[in-house]
Amino acid sequence: MQSTLLYHALRIGKDIFCGVCWYNYSGEIMKKDVVIIGAGAAGLMCALTSGQRKRSVLVLEHTGKIANKVRISGGGRCNFSNLSMSSGYYVSRNSHFCKSALARFTPHDFILMMEKHGIRYYEKEKGQLFCKGSSGELIRMFQKECSDAGVDIFTGCRIDAIRKEGCFIVTTNLGTVESSSLVIATGGLSYPKLGATDSGIRIATQFGLKVTMLKPALVPLTLGKEDLKNLGELSGLSLDTTVSCNKTLSDGKILFTHRGLSGPAILQSSLYWEKGVPLTIDLLPGKDPYSLLVARRDSKMKIENLLSTYLPGRFAKKWCTLSITPKVMNHYTEGELREIAYRLGHWQILPEGTEGYGKAEVTFGGVDTEDLSSRTMETKKVPGLYFIGEVVDVTGHLGGYNLQWAWSSGYAAGLYA
């Protein structure tokens, strides 16, 4: 007796896609060319690319929905890529590793795919690309592309065991499947409420691959009790700044929160922040603080009122109280003005920690790129085993770079799996 497949439709909001349950009455194991674990951005791109090569493809997703992080990206509009694309926007132990995949599938390649489906987009700022509609449009695009390529997607599928006996044998709560290629696209540890787990890291370890240090990234930073006592009343206030962390500059807004600091410049800096490392913040980027102060040196204006011309008033007053001795301008010496100018450009603050994986957009670190082929994403130690997307030690900057890595690495593996 042949194995029997029972197909059922699952409704997710306005989206409908096919999930699959299989019942193996004969004791036979389902056979596929490619099994992909994880139906996120990287996994779906890999699936449709491999399916278009006429490979039989099965995607296994342990949650009830596909593309969970795509759905929430960009506030529901999905910051799907960035026009300013280069390896310099990625952090990895091997800074060259991402080059091959990024060159093979570019932001323009993804845009062509969107245009084929009539999905409109726009550039927000600094090259960041967003859907004009909702991220649901991209999800439906992937559903259609996967369906056309003959890809099967199983949701609610828990992986119980994986072993290799010539081929890969994956045991799940829905049955057992055998494949010649196995692609791990499980993502990182960020957003555990969306179903993120460390399963990809555990699989890598099982097969003897190295894993680099993991930490929450693109994440708000927390402050200690004393700093919160001093700055807590500024919660909700934002500033345009340049933040320096570990010799790396990040331009953009910082936002004071009830727990510490957030905003684009802080999230970006979190990629480079380590425990015990201070942030150095230029409060007047693009300006010469000393010239601004000297121009009003003979004034009877209080310094906090002068700084309120360039900074939010509440912050200017608080900063003056904490960082200098507030006076009227004509009471300062030239030396004191030089010191104040320096402090305005080099305000230091020491974070205590991060808000963790629950608030992190991505996971820093992952499967060591030394164990992977940059051309195919296949492991060097285990033929037929691939790792793609966030589970790999390639972490992009804020602004669509991580989704582009997902598309590009998924495409690269899909050409070979």
Write out pLDDT tens, residues 354-412: 999 999 999 999 999 999 999 999 999 999 999 999 999 999 999 999 999 999 999 99
Does residue 119 surpass a pLDDT of 60?
yes
Domain ranges of the chain: 4-214+359-414, 221-354
Of residues 220 and 12, the one with the higher pLDDT is 220
Does residue 7 surpass a pLDDT of 70?
no
State pTM to two decimals. Answer: 0.93
CATH of domain 221-354: 2.40.30.10
Q: What is the mean pLDDT of residues 253-271?
A: 98
Domain 4-214+359-414 = CATH 3.40.50.1980:
no
Write out pLDDT tens, residues 270-315: 999 999 999 999 999 999 999 999 999 999 999 999 999 999 999 9
Average pLDDT, the chain: 93
Q: Please tell me the predicted confidence (pLDDT) of residue 135.
A: 98
Are the C-beta atoms of 61 and 157 separated by less than 8 Å?
yes
Residue type, 350: L
